[in-house]
Amino acid sequence: MTTITPPVTTPEHTGVVAAVGRQKPPAWWLGLALLSLFSAAIPLVYLVVRVGELPFQGIIEILGRPRVGQLLGNTVGLGVAVSGSAVVLGVLIAVALTRADFSANRLWLVASALPLAVPSYLASYGWLVVWPSLSGFWPSYVLLTAVTVPYVALPVAARMRGLAGDHEKVARTLGLGPVAAFYRSTWPQLRPAALAGGLLVFLYTISDFGLVAMLRFQTLTWGINASYSASFDRSQAAVLALLLVVLAFIAVVGERRARSVTDVGRGRSKHLGPPLASTYRRALLVIVSLPPLIGVLMPLAGMSVRLFQADTLRQVDVARLAEATGWTVLVALLAAVAAVLLALPIAALAARYRTGSARVLESAAYLSHGLPGIVVGLSLVFLGLRVVPALYQTTILLVFAYAVLFMSKALGTTRSAIEGVSPDLVRVARSLGQSAFGAWRRVTLPLAMPGIAIGALLVAIATMKELPATLLLRPTGMNTLATELWTRTVILEYGAAAPYAAVLVAVAAIPAMLLSGVRAEKEVQR
């Protein structure tokens, strides 16, 4: 049997892609992409309309309240502090993972990524079990830093593996010490990846609700939830939500600008630089171990203490736990499909065409990455009550919220996967009588499916952990593992919350392991 394999990327392939990119996209394709973008922008558009209904003086009055200024200051201060620390620690961890040559280095690489699998509110829950009086800025800062460091460490480590260490060696021969040589020669090449990761950390921090609420540190997300829950007049909640969107928009624009910096100095040498002295290696080993210890091991230890208490095990409502698990898995699967379908037209357009409209649509689609769950939930509450009341508190609206929130997680991987399929194969299929859709279905889609699956798994993991939008939009009587965990921790029933926390970690680990398997297979193929 003859096996046909896709061609590797060559200069000729690049030329074909460039030629395709210069063509104007079909009107129907552009229309589908615009429809996807409009669907994802509905929460933001409606929120702007809702605030626009207020008189200008009323908006100024809300923004001028001392409480709003305090919430804004807390939010920005926490975001800057966490992102700054994450950049510093992330770069150090990346250096350790690529240069320190630890024994079981692959195990340390996996450990450095583990905090991504633990929801921030679950990390705070585990610490509160051990230390119930924990609260305020500093605990929030430490825990958020621990769970977000991988956003910087992993891309910087990947960037370092693509760099040659020749420049740094030359700097050392000119008399510079190891730190100065790294800063002068290697850091400029790592800065785009580090700053982009830092901006993602800032975005994550300002949108976090569960952790800061559990640790009683009042930020804008806390204020939005309080205004929505305690007042019949939701004007202040809408204004605060739009203020948070503005901060998130600034972060997204900054991320895009950082990613657009020219990438220079790429090499293929496996020698990443001079070997580190044993003193540096020991110090870096401590730094690498801190985020998994603070963000994963300690919370799991606290959760285990509650889980294995005799009273807790006897009082577990197995039927309720099973129902919450079923809802969690179901909405995660539905959200993964919905987010991929929403991202697919834009990803395909951006992969095949290099026109200005394609770039604008792709950039605008990434704005959904800057919409915190509480903002999407709040805007869709307004939308459901005023425009489509039949959809309010239904699974359809909840899944749509997940798709809006996490579409960008599927967009990047889907775009890269489609871009990797040679247009020559599509042309061959068309020459054999296939229609445009038939060529897409029989050639492009199967070859791009691994990358699309990665995006779907990322969406599923994020959906399982999502809390604010779920609290606001879930149908009556529907409880996920995240909402059950939150409900019990709010009233300080940590023992009753432990089974839900344990199952949430176990269920979220399944797509995480599948994701690791797909990526490992891709690395082997390379």
212, burial (CB in 10 Å: exposed 0-12, middle 13-18, buried 19+): buried
Are 242 and 201 spatial neighbours (Cβ–Cβ below 8 Å)?
A: no
> Is residue 15 assigned to a domain?
no
Is the confidence at residue 174, as pLDDT, over 70?
no
Q: Say if residue 70 is in the same domain as residue 45.
A: no
Query: What value does the mean pLDDT take over residues 17-31?
Result: 63
Three-state secondary structure call for residue 268 = coil
Q: Say if residue 332 is in the same domain as residue 466.
A: yes
DSSP bridge pairs for 163: 266
Q: Say if residue 354 is in the same domain as residue 368.
A: yes
Rg over CA atoms, the chain: 24
**Residue 378 carries which side chain, given as an amino acid letter?**
L
Nearest to 71 by CA among 195, 206, 183: 206
Query: What value does the mean pLDDT take over residues 109-134?
Result: 81
Is the confidence at residue 42, as pLDDT, over 90?
no
> Is residue 1 assigned to a domain?
no
pLDDT band at 101 (very low <50, low <70, confident <90, very high): low
Who wins on pLDDT, 454 or 201? 201
Percent of the chain clearing pLDDT 90 (strictly above): 13
Q: Which of 277, 301, 325 is the last residue of a domain?
A: 301
Are 395 and 327 spatial neighbours (Cβ–Cβ below 8 Å)?
A: no
How many domains are contained in the chain? 2
| Per-residue model confidence (pLDDT) at position 70 | 92
Distances (CA, A) of 287 to 153, 192, 292, 395: 12, 22, 10, 43
Query: What value does the mean pLDDT take over residues 18-40?
Result: 72
Residues 483-499: tens digit of each pLDDT: 888 888 776 676 777 78
> Is residue 13 assigned to a domain?
no
Three-state secondary structure call for residue 163 = strand
Who wins on pLDDT, 269 or 367? 367
Q: Residue 490 sits in a domain of what CATH number?
A: 1.10.3720.10
| Per-residue model confidence (pLDDT) at position 182 | 67
Percent of the chain clearing pLDDT 70 (strictly above): 75
| Per-residue model confidence (pLDDT) at position 85 | 94
Who wins on pLDDT, 24 or 208? 208
What would the two tokens of residue 389 be?
């009341």
> Is residue 267 assigned to a domain?
yes
- Alpha carbon 94 to chain centroid, angstroms: 19
Q: Say if residue 174 is in the same domain as residue 232.
A: yes
Nearest to 349 by CA among 38, 13, 27: 27
Is the confidence at residue 275, as pLDDT, over 60?
no
Phi, psi of 388 (to 5 degrees): -130, 70
Q: Say if residue 70 is in the same domain as residue 48.
A: no
Q: Say if residue 294 is in the same domain as residue 358.
A: no
- Alpha carbon 83 to chain centroid, angstroms: 14
Q: Say if residue 421 is in the same domain as residue 512.
A: yes
Q: Say if residue 292 is in the same domain as residue 315.
A: no
| Per-residue model confidence (pLDDT) at position 6 | 38
Q: Say if residue 291 is in the same domain as residue 344.
A: no
Whole-angstrom distance, CA of residue 223 vs CA of residue 90:
30
Whole-angstrom distance, CA of residue 204 vs CA of residue 201:
5
Residues 64-75: tens digit of each pLDDT: 888 889 999 999
Output the pTM of the full model. Answer: 0.74
By residue range, what is the domain housing residue 28? 20-53+308-526
Nearest to 144 by CA among 175, 119, 117: 119
> Is residue 410 assigned to a domain?
yes
Return the beta strands (E) in 81-173 as ranges. none
| Per-residue model confidence (pLDDT) at position 77 | 95
Residues 186-237: tens digit of each pLDDT: 777 777 778 877 887 888 898 888 899 889 999 998 888 788 776 655 677 7
pLDDT band at 32 (very low <50, low <70, confident <90, very high): confident
**Which segment of 138-152, 392-406, 499-513 scores lowest on mean pLDDT?**
499-513
For CA atoms 338, 339, 340, 344, the dihedral sign is: positive
What would the two tokens of residue 400 be?
């749509």
Q: Which of 301, 335, 351 is the last residue of a domain?
A: 301
Residues 344-391: tens digit of each pLDDT: 888 888 777 777 777 777 777 777 666 778 888 888 887 888 888 888
What would the two tokens of residue 33 be?
């992409």
| Per-residue model confidence (pLDDT) at position 234 | 67
Who wins on pLDDT, 46 or 63? 63
Query: What value does the mean pLDDT take over residues 453-478?
Result: 86
| Per-residue model confidence (pLDDT) at position 165 | 56
Q: Say if residue 45 is in the same domain as residue 61.
A: no
| Per-residue model confidence (pLDDT) at position 415 | 77
Nearest to 409 by CA among 375, 371, 382: 371
> Is residue 8 assigned to a domain?
no
Q: Say if residue 25 is in the same domain as residue 172.
A: no
| Per-residue model confidence (pLDDT) at position 329 | 93
Is the confidence at residue 127, as pLDDT, over 60?
yes
Whole-angstrom distance, CA of residue 401 vs CA of residue 394:
11
Whole-angstrom distance, CA of residue 413 vs CA of residue 392:
32
- Alpha carbon 309 to chain centroid, angstroms: 34
Q: Which of 301, 324, 356 is the last residue of a domain?
A: 301
> Is residue 4 assigned to a domain?
no
Three-state secondary structure call for residue 266 = strand
Averaged confidence pLDDT in the chain:
77
Q: Say if residue 197 is in the same domain as residue 136.
A: yes
> Is residue 14 assigned to a domain?
no
What would the two tokens of residue 188 be?
């400029």
